[in-house]
Structure formats: structure tokens, C-alpha cells
A = this chain, B = another copy of it.
Amino acid sequence: MSRRIPESTVRRLSHYLRSLEDLGREGGYTVSSEELAERGQTTAAQVRKDLSHFGSFGKRGLGYQVDELQGRLQHILGIDRTWRVALVGAGRIGSALFAYPDFNVRGYDVVAVFDNDPEKIGRTWGEVTIRSADELEQVVRDTGAELAILAVPAPAAQELAQRVVSAGVKGILNFAPIRLRVPKDVPVEDVSLVMELEALSFAITQAGGADE
């Protein structure tokens, strides 16, 4: 039951949750830290340590009850509710995200979409109409969006980040390849494809001979 939680622990919690969903579908009723570890590519001790940050959810000798632990993890991760999301940028990435199936399934509800292309403004995606970025503050406030997904080119990202934050957004998922400057109580998660690819090519290059 500690204070500051490592980022790596949080990511593993997401993983455990995914494994628990699978186990539930397979009809499992209880699960041991050992099995959770195997599915999550980690160790049993790590699983127990991760969970112990938040309380003790298991029964000695038995393991964890699948559906109960699933509920606990959802609560811990803050996804036992719906999050209203503003999608900023209706380009390729924006539209791919909007259509991403896992997305709506898990309590993330896109309540607003913005773009600055006059061609796109006014079109509707599902229930949502694409609005001009000029109306951003207004619409974010009206819809009560709490999260923003920034899927815009790098030069526009910083300004838009500031604006969504000032309109009340509490966290940002950022696809632009820059480090956003926002108040430090506003968490930002970066998704950088280029960075992932570079990590890959580094790993491959390292593996095959020091300097080829």
C-alpha cells in the first residue's frame, strides 16, 4: 500500500486486466500470480508486488478471484466509468483512432472532433460533427470532455495542447512528435511511432554484431 507507483507497474496492471478478461471468457474462476505472470510475460513475485501497492486482493492457498480482481483493477486504473474524449485532428490518424473498435468498448466516448480543414468541418462521423478548431474551447466546455487526443501535425500541437487544457481537459494522449509543455498536473502520454521504430532498429542493430 505505498505512495508513488512506478510507471512500469501501471502498464503491467493494464496487462493483467487484459489477461483477466481472457481468463473470464475461458471460464476461469480463480487465478494464481503464477498464471498471471506467465500470461503477462513477467514473474509471480512481480505480480504480487504490483498488486500489493494497492491492497491485498488474493486468498492464500487459492489465488485471486478473476472477476473480483478485474473489478479492482478497473477501479485502480480509473476505468470503472466513462471518459469523455475530444479528438483533435480528423486526419489519417484521427480517423483510424475514431474507428478503432477496442476504443469505444472500453468506456472511452468521443464526444467532439476538431479539424481546421474547411472540407471536413461540418461532416459527421457517427453521432459527432467535426467542428472548427476555432470553436475548441467552447465545444470542449459544452461537452465536458476530460481527455484530449492530439492527432495533429507537430507545429500545431503545442498551441492546441494549451487550449484544450485551458478549456478543462485533464489529460492528453499526444501523437505529435514533440514534448508538450503543459501544467505539471496534466498528464501527457506520448505515442511516437518513429520512436518505436527507432527502438526496434536499435535492438536489431545491437543484436547483430557490435558495429556492422
Contacts and interface: CB of A to CB of B under 8 A. Distances in A.
A77 interface: yes
A62 interface: no
Contacts of A199: 7, 10-11, 14, 187, 189
A44 interface: no
Nearest to A174: B196
Q: By DSSP majority rule, is chain A's interface helix, strand, loop, or mixed?
A: helix
A15 B195 CA distance: 8
Integer count of this chain's copies in the complex: 2
Contacts of A100: 92-93, 193
A78 B198 CA distance: 8
A46 interface: no
A47 to B, nearest CB: 14
Nearest to A153: B101
Interface stretch (A64-72, A112-120, A128-136, A202-210): A202-210
Among A14, A102, A189, A202, chain B packs the most CB atoms within 10 A around the CB of A202
Report, as a range, how many residues of chain A touch the other chain: 35 or more
A78 B212 CA distance: 10
Interface string A9-53: 011011101100000000000000000000111000000000000
A205 B93 CA distance: 27
A174 B124 CA distance: 31
Contacts of A179: 15, 39-41
17 contacts: A10-B202, A11-B195, A11-B199, A14-B192, A15-B179, A77-B205, A78-B206, A96-B96, A147-B200, A170-B204, A170-B208, A171-B200, A171-B203, A172-B200, A173-B197, A187-B204, A189-B200
Interface of A: 5, 7, 10-11, 13-15, 17-18, 39-41, 76-79, 83, 92-93, 95-97, 99-100, 102-103, 106, 108, 146-147, 170-173, 177-179, 185, 187, 189, 191-208
